[in-house]
Structure 1
Amino acid sequence: MADTLHLSADPVDLTAWLVDIPSVSGDEVELADLVERSLRAQAPHLEVVRTGNSVLARTNLGRPGRVVLAGHLDTVPINDNLPSRREGDVLHGCGTVDMKSGDAVMLNLAVTAVEPRYDLTFVFYDCEEVEADRNALGRIEREMPEWLTGDLAIVCEPSNGVVEAGCQGTMRIEVRTTGARAHTARGWMGVNAIHAVGEALRRLESYESRVVDIDGCTYREGLQAVKIAGGVAGNVVPDACVLTVNHRFAPDRTPADAEAHLREVFDGFDVVVTDVAAGALPGLSAPVAQELVAATGGTPVAKLGWTDVARFAALGLPAVNFGPGDPTLAHTQQENVPVGQITGCAEVLRRFLT
């Protein structure tokens, strides 16, 4: 393994090099070390710091505005999809989509965009693909908040090379029912908690999801049962059942709004919120965001899903997703990215930033 990466190389080649360094969540140290060494050796114009397995770099040129670019270094577990391979104009391998192609674009810009019209901050962070309390952006926000300030945040998650604005919020709830145990031979003497969930399932089956237009972006909400648990034994009437439901809500709802809505949907049931993350409004009215949209030459679309743009939005930064790769291929064994999208995203961001 080379001591450093050639960061000014073609971002397509850089993507392949990054992909070939395994960095499953919690095991990013080798890649973080390489990114840190490469930036320190090849980007003397940047201030570089290390925190855990995250590497941060920024210019301090006194520009009137600052753009933050963020990308996580970790991937989901490898699934017989390493090393990378290129077939024609498509690069295959774990992380090609989520999101080492975005990281490659950022690293290339870090060393080649030496006279940007905005000050730039680059955040390469760890543990995005696991539980939220391990996400390094949370630690950076608590310990180094000055590194997450600016006028626009671009999270280089896969977006098919178009601006995906904002993101949905997400909430998981448990709909709990209780009953009374009895021998199934004398079932009338008990109360079946699994049967009691039937009404909640019927409400889900007839539920009509909201479609919301915000700043020209269409957000489609969703409400889905994702798990059901109950039962004691093959001859016992069950006295408890738990139905887990996931709600994806448009960013015009707050978490409190979403919770109130779900309690209305499941009125009469015991509802417990087990996980929640707020969404993010598009933020496209900010002048610097409009400049990015103009640089892409395309039409922004809503982000259907949750990403770390929500963390930046909560800090008061307009934030968007913009990166190469089809997000529907993320986390699949078939991860692959057209090399033209990597090149195209790099060109758009270079045009926007310089």
Structure 2
Amino acid sequence: MLQLDADPIALTSALVDIPSPSHEEGAIADAIEQALRAIDNVEVQRMNHTLVATTSRGLGSRIILAGHIDTVPLADNVPGHIENGVLYGCGSVDMKSGMACYLHAFATLANHPDLRHDLTLVCYEAEEVAATFNGLAHLQESHPELLQGDLALLGEPSGAMIEAGCQGSIRLKVIAEGTRAHAARSWLGDNAMHKLAPVISRIAAYEAREVEVDGCMYHEGLNIVHCESGVATNTIPDEAWMYVNFRFAPDRDVDAAMEHMLAVLDLPEGVHYEVSDAVPGARPGLDQPAAADLLKATGGQFRAKYGWTDVSRFASLGVPAVNFGPGDPSFAHKKDEQCPVEMISEVSEQLLQYLTGGGSHE
């Protein structure tokens, strides 16, 4: 059985050694469930391969510790190994090290006299695939009451510092239609690709905004991320399309971001769009009392989260949320995925200090 109150480095190694690519989380969910059910005075609920464990000690506030238990497909990098102070293996940084810190804190403090907040631990499935499978999204829709708290921490790799909030993202498929013709008689056709040219030029000339939100600086971006057209090298294309992605700061909601994006694109006649994806960002929420205590426990260092993460799901429920986990996110999904073990120890210790107000957890 997993030893949740053991050294978090050893616990990370144990989690890495249980393969859990998306849609194959059964074994790791079973192991975590067994270990959680061995803790006294804790309620454990399971929905498919998503687990929710809660304490109910009447402490007057609640902190949510959340993390996904799935990984990207394996790349001959399980089991993991430690070399020169670095833990290698699939999921070592994204995000089994963060999950280990949260599991360790929950198990260590669930019945500890110095615990200052009741805890909700969420270990969810299928984060690394389409949102329709995301276990946290399923909880958000079916059991939002389980995700209520004063602050939510998500164990995404953040370099052992707080990455606050996240950017929103809109992805549009922009489609132009024309008339096919032989290139030698191009005037008989209508070149669909040419219709996208002014839109491409506007995107290329776009100057992205930098904006401070709740003390965090966010840098927006509008980019073409995929483009296709063409029938044959001697044929005028009758269709052309491209995906355009707008990463926007959390001071805009999705509607405002969409309005701005469409104004910039200014689609001409014969060009239309389909919404491929549209998700809101999350404000940092560092002005909340529970977040202020976390900042103190982690030395006051924080930065904006540029990518989109599941903190947005908590923000949509009115729960401030931050990303806080060990490791460099640039190693996520790589064959040599890795996490310095000292960061695991650092995050674990800071988390325990935060949840106990600096009290002893021996």
TM-score computed with the length of structure 2 as normaliser: 0.94
Q: Is the 8 A contact 2:23 2:126 kept in 1?
A: yes
Q: Which amino acid aligns with 2:214?
A: D
CA distance in 2, matches of 1:268, 1:121: 47
CA distance in 2, matches of 1:268, 1:37: 55
Q: Which residue of 2 aligns with 1:29?
A: 26
Deviation of the 1:222 alpha carbon = 0.8
Deviation of the 1:14 alpha carbon = 0.6
Q: How does 1:234-245 map onto structure 2 within 5 Å?
A: 234-245=233-244
Aligned residue pairs: how many?
350
CA distance in 2, matches of 1:351, 1:53: 30
Q: What are the superposed Cα offsets for residues 70-107 of structure 1, whole Å, 9 maximum, x if unpaired?
A: 00000011122222111111111110110000111111
Deviation of the 1:262 alpha carbon = 1.2
Task: Out of 246-255 and 133-142, give the one that drifted further.
Answer: 133-142
CA distance in 1, matches of 2:342, 2:167: 28
1:251 aligns with 2:253: no
Q: Is the 8 A contact 2:199 2:267 kept in 1?
A: no
1:38 aligns with 2:35: yes
Flag structure 2 segments of 5+ consecutive residues without an equivalent.
357-362
Q: Which residue of 1 aligns with 2:209?
A: 210
- Identity over aligned pairs, percent: 49
Task: Out of 247-256 and 263-272, give the one that drifted further.
Answer: 263-272
Deviation of the 1:181 alpha carbon = 1.1
Q: Is the 8 A contact 1:200 1:266 kept in 2?
A: yes
CA distance in 1, matches of 2:60, 2:183: 74
CA distance in 2, matches of 1:221, 1:80: 36
Q: Which residue of 1 aligns with 2:85?
A: 89
Q: What are the superposed Cα offsets for residues 243-296 of structure 1, whole Å, 9 maximum, x if unpaired?
A: 111111000011111111111111133233221000000111110110001110
Q: Is the 8 A contact 2:226 2:244 kept in 1?
A: yes
Q: Which residue of 1 aligns with 2:12?
A: 15
Q: Which residue of 2 aligns with 1:268?
A: 267
1:62 aligns with 2:58: yes
Q: Which residue of 2 aligns with 1:349?
A: 351
1:170 aligns with 2:169: yes
CA distance in 2, matches of 1:204, 1:333: 34
1:103 aligns with 2:102: no
Deviation of the 1:336 alpha carbon = 0.6
Q: Which amino acid aligns with 1:323?
A: G
Q: Secondary structure at the match of 2:46?
A: strand
Q: Which amino acid aligns with 1:28?
A: E
Q: Is the 8 A contact 2:65 2:154 kept in 1?
A: yes
Q: 1:323 aligns with which of 322, 325, 340?
A: 325
Q: What are the superposed Cα offsets for residues 20-66 of structure 1, whole Å, 9 maximum, x if unpaired?
A: 1110010000000000011112x113111111101111110001100
Flag structure 1 segments of 5+ consecutive residues without an equivalent.
none
Q: Which residue of 2 aligns with 1:314?
A: 316
Q: Which residue of 2 aligns with 1:292?
A: 294
Q: Secondary structure at the match of 1:117?
A: coil
Q: Is the 8 A contact 2:140 2:313 kept in 1?
A: no
Task: Out of 75-84 and 29-38, give the one that drifted further.
Answer: 75-84
CA distance in 2, matches of 1:101, 1:45: 25
TM-score computed with the length of structure 1 as normaliser: 0.96
Deviation of the 1:207 alpha carbon = 1.2
